[in-house]
Homo-oligomer: A and B are copies of this chain.
Amino acid sequence: MKVDLIIENAHILTMEGKGVGFIPNGSVAVKGNIIEAVGSAQDISRDYQSDNTIDAANKLVMPGFIDAHIHTGIAIFRGVAQDMSNWMQKGLWPFMKHLTPEESVKGSMVNIIEGLKAGTTTFCDYDGRMDLIAENYKRIGARARLAELVNEIPDNIGDLPVGELYPFDPSIGQTKFQRNLDLYETYHNSENGRLSVILGPHGPDMMSLELLKEFQHYGEKLDTKLHMHVAQGDREIDQIVKRYGKRSIDFLEENGFLNERLIAVHLTEATNEETERVAKSGAGMIYCAGSIGIIDGMVPPVHHFLQSGGTACLGSDQAPGNNCNNMFNEMKFAAILNKVKMSDPRVFNATTSLRMATIEAAKVMGIDGEVGSLAKGKKADMIIINLQDPTFFPVLTSPIRNIVPNLVYSARGHEVETSIIDGVVVMENRNIQTIDEAAALAEAQKAAESIAMRSEQDILNAESDILNMVREGLL
């Protein structure tokens, strides 16, 4: 059979089955944007021909990574709010106040480039003005599962004294909610299905029960998932207890949110009992190892979630906290932080991390019929990784096969040579084919400098830890 592309002679991790689906000396046949076959090089070369082949000897072929939770709209603030208390209020807020949607989009593009160059092929982006950011994904050719970040909170919330109940403004809520519906209308299943849209309620503390119920209603009507921060920080629990007299998980359960439609992000403050309840409800969990570790000094109960039978995956969150958006980084952090939390080196092995960055992420996001593993009929989203980089040395397949441990604990992202998304080679030999990377960077850098200049007075007024570090020559 004639196909459009054959990638041949590779080590393959299909991520099918319960492990990693290793195939030594294998090939993948692609027709249009669909995987036609995955198998031994011998079988594929017998059954398929193509004018377009990629020799992947000494390379690894695997599904592209799925970054389940990323806010690319604030990437432009990478590194400005580090190692400090009041990260949001004193670190980010003085900058955020001055960010225009156009600048946010420019920063987002660099963030997408960063992820793409580290093997991410599907971005579950969750931010404001996703209608503008969606155009970045359209241009660069990456797969995206988008959600508008919706809340009812006025823009000047940063000035509210800590501990006071957030004021809700229904008109803000309606505007943002409508944006999420419009986003769905415009982009869901657009670009040959490469872009899809789900719902993005910011968190149970960030809007009235009425608006949450609207989300619930539309979730059912559109048959789609709700991407929502849940039990993220004591601040949220405090708000929910003050408002409803109970904790977040109880509140969500009583209102019918704990089910397979919910994608619960963080669960930082969930007790083991609450974690178990969420896991058993069928809701998915997104664990952001780097961001929660660095911003909060915490390890969320993801290990307990998995032990309770839940489906969980990894997300890189946002650049100003984490502060990189690289699934290699997340896989490493997830493994080591949970080993240390449980005082056990066997906990959270490399395979667990790898699955949570691929097939398990597809399950949580509801796209495992399309991506997350290499199998006949799935979308042709895959990456080719150079195994001849020192970070992969040595490559052994028998009796011990060390490719997966080295992928998770040693590789860093630059080993990814080629990315194929929806059957299209979007990156080849580390060069993005669809946009001008240097121009995107230069444009975003200019925007960042302009915001920093306009924010100066607010930054000085904030008297943050990081400002003091700069003044003392510590940065």
Contact = CB atoms under 8 A, between A and B. Distances in A.
A406 interface: yes
A469 B83 contact: no
21 contacts: A76-B394, A80-B396, A83-B349, A85-B346, A290-B336, A290-B409, A294-B345, A295-B345, A298-B343, A322-B410, A323-B410, A324-B412, A340-B340, A340-B341, A346-B465, A351-B475, A388-B438, A388-B441, A393-B448, A405-B475, A413-B414
A82 interface: yes
A170 B120 CA distance: 55
Given A111-B390, A114-B390, A322-B410, 18 more contacts: A19-B469, A79-B402, A82-B409, A84-B346, A85-B346, A107-B393, A110-B390, A110-B393, A297-B345, A319-B410, A322-B409, A393-B445, A394-B445, A395-B445, A396-B452, A398-B452, A399-B467, A400-B467
Contacts of A410: 78-79, 319, 322-324
A10 interface: no
A169 B434 CA distance: 65
A475 B407 CA distance: 11
Report copies per complex: 2
Nearest to A411: B324
Contact of A82 (B340, B349, B466, B475): B349
Interface in A19-68: 19-22
A390 B322 contact: no
Interface in A327-354: 328-329, 332-333, 335-337, 339-347, 349-351
B78 A343 contact: no
A230 interface: no
A311 to B, nearest CB: 18
A160 interface: no
B82 A336 contact: no
A452 B297 contact: no
A195 to B, nearest CB: 22
A473 interface: yes
Contacts of A96: none
Interface residues of A, number: 95
Nearest to A437: B390
Contact of A87 (B345, B401, B445): B345
A448 B392 CA distance: 12
A350 B409 contact: no
Contacts of A144: none
A19 B340 contact: no
B473 A22 contact: yes
A254 interface: no
A473 B297 contact: no
A448 B19 contact: no
A3 interface: no
A274 to B, nearest CB: 19
A105 interface: no
